Amino acid sequence: MSILITNIKSLLQVRENCPSFISGNDMKTLPTIENAYLLIENDTIVNYGPMEDASSIEAETTIDATGKFVLPTWCDSHTHIVYAGNRELEFVDRINGLTYEEIANRGGGILNSAKTLQNTSEEELYNQSIARVKTVMKLGTGALEIKSGYGLTPEAELKMLRVIKRIKKEFPVKVRATFLGAHALPQHYKNNKQGYLDEIINVMLPLIEKEQLADYIDIFCEKGYFDLDDTKQIIEAGKKHHMASKIHVNQFNAFGGVALAVENNALSVDHLEEMNDEDIEVLKGSNTMPVALPSCSYFLSIPYTPARKMIDAGLPLALATDYNPGSTPSGNMNFVVSTACIKMKMTPEEAINAATINGAYAMGIDKQYGSITRGKKANVIITKQIPSYYYLPYSFGENNIETVIINGQIIA
Ligand code: NIG
Ligand code: FE
């Protein structure tokens, strides 16, 4: 199966020798080819270049992209897209004055979602989750990291991870799985946090490794959830089971979690709404990707990750959705890119780099995803006819996508 896309107004994010990620000033550049073609064979990008070089190329399917832009699909490196039910009642409680913290303290929040998930069958959980996966694919997402963490028992965590594995098998979207057993302290361990950590480390992790259910490990490092010592235990246990870490950190409080993650070679540190100067300093020159989740800031009305300060200090940055029922009930990466420009003062080029190649790095798939590069996977977005690529973040809330190709398959 071959697809030839012709007359592309501008082919974006073309990188012959694509680096693993882009940092600092380099994020301001988005390499492009004007009036271009792109050739896909099966699941792979095989060629591209100026239209005048395409005259002799034949393909089974030709798509005319006159007036349209082509770019790599979004790499959403942080989601909790597998969950059961929703939390719209808590949403209204927050409108009426309760805080996210107050809702969590009275047994709502993550524990509310865990209760629902524990009482949902694996089949039903799969069905609810794939409805969301299909939606985000049409919105241009070609790679998804998906976390567990709404199970909080060995049985329910494994149920979530098996659903993730099934999505990985049955959909063209690239999936990476992260084990987030340490998302919240379940009720039955209320006064025994170490007991729960021991259960994660000694019971859940060996089972997960045996069934090969997770690529990465995560913990919610936050006041009222898990502290630095807990985080260290989880990162080290992950290493023993060959899982690098991706850490929820600095969402509400900055207390050294970023440094701990970097020291332990975490693949990413995510949230970062609260960042102090030491956090920025320690990320410099490291292999750990900082990940911002602007839809979460928007939905909870909390600060945005200080992207400007971080990029100006030379750091890379990735953007992801955090799609989950409590803090971000949206998996729309187009909205994330817009919000990053509008609220975090990222330029369109920076935001697109952050949502493609840097996102790919933050989920360990940068060799095959995140840019238009020969040999990489055929994951591309074809826009509608729009005046320029600035129009993508500018026209927030509008759907500017006409066609999505994932793994060489035309999705929408
Ligand atoms: O990334 N912060 C921790 N976990 C999720 C939200 C959990 C929830 O409210 O269900 C997040 O925002
Ligand atoms: Fe999250």
Domain of residue 34, residue span: 2-72+370-410
Same domain, yes or no: 236 and 358: yes
Q: What is the mean pLDDT of residues 349-376?
A: 98
Do 117 and 134 fall into the same domain? yes
Our mutation pick for probing the ligand 1 site, out of 322, 323, 330, counting the most ligand atoms within 8 A of Cβ, is: 322
Query: To which residue do tokens 């949502």 refer?
Result: 355
Q: 63 and 79 share a domain?
A: no
- Reported as a single tens digit per residue, the pLDDT across 109-122 is 999 999 999 999 99
Distance of CA 200 from the midpoint of ligand 1 (Å): 19
Band of the pLDDT at 373, cuts 50, 70, 90?
very high
State percent of the chain over pLDDT 90: 99
Q: Give me the pLDDT at residue 370, please.
A: 98
Instruction: Kindly state if the Cβ of 108 falls inside 6 Å of ligand 1.
Output: no
CATH of the domain at 228: 3.20.20.140
pLDDT in tens, 202-238: 999 999 999 999 999 999 999 999 999 999 999 999 9
255 and 121, same structural domain? yes
**In the chain, what percentage of residues exceed pLDDT 70?**
100
Looking up residue 48, the CATH number of its domain turns out to be 2.30.40.10
**Residues 249 and 111 reside in one and the same domain:** yes
Beta-carbon count within 10 A of 20 CB: 15
Which of 344, 362, 380 is where one domain is finished? 362
Predicted ipTM?
Answer: 0.97
Number of domains in the chain: 2
- Answer yes or no: do 188 and 149 share one domain: yes
Instruction: State whether 272 and 317 are in the same domain.
Output: yes
Do 215 and 353 have their domain in common? Answer: yes
Q: pTM to 2 decimals?
A: 0.98
113 lines ligand 1 (CB under 6 A): yes
Mean pLDDT of all residues belonging to the chain: 98
Residues 80 and 181 in one domain: yes
Q: Is the pLDDT of residue 107 over 90?
A: no
| pLDDT per position as a tens digit, 135-148 | 999 999 999 999 99
412 pLDDT higher than 80: no
Residues 127 and 189 occupy one common structural domain: yes
Q: What is the pLDDT of residues 4-13, one digit of tens each?
A: 999 999 999 9
Binding residues, by number, are: 78, 80, 87, 150, 183, 248, 251, 322, 324, 326-327
Q: How far apart are CA 177 and CA 168, in angstroms?
A: 9
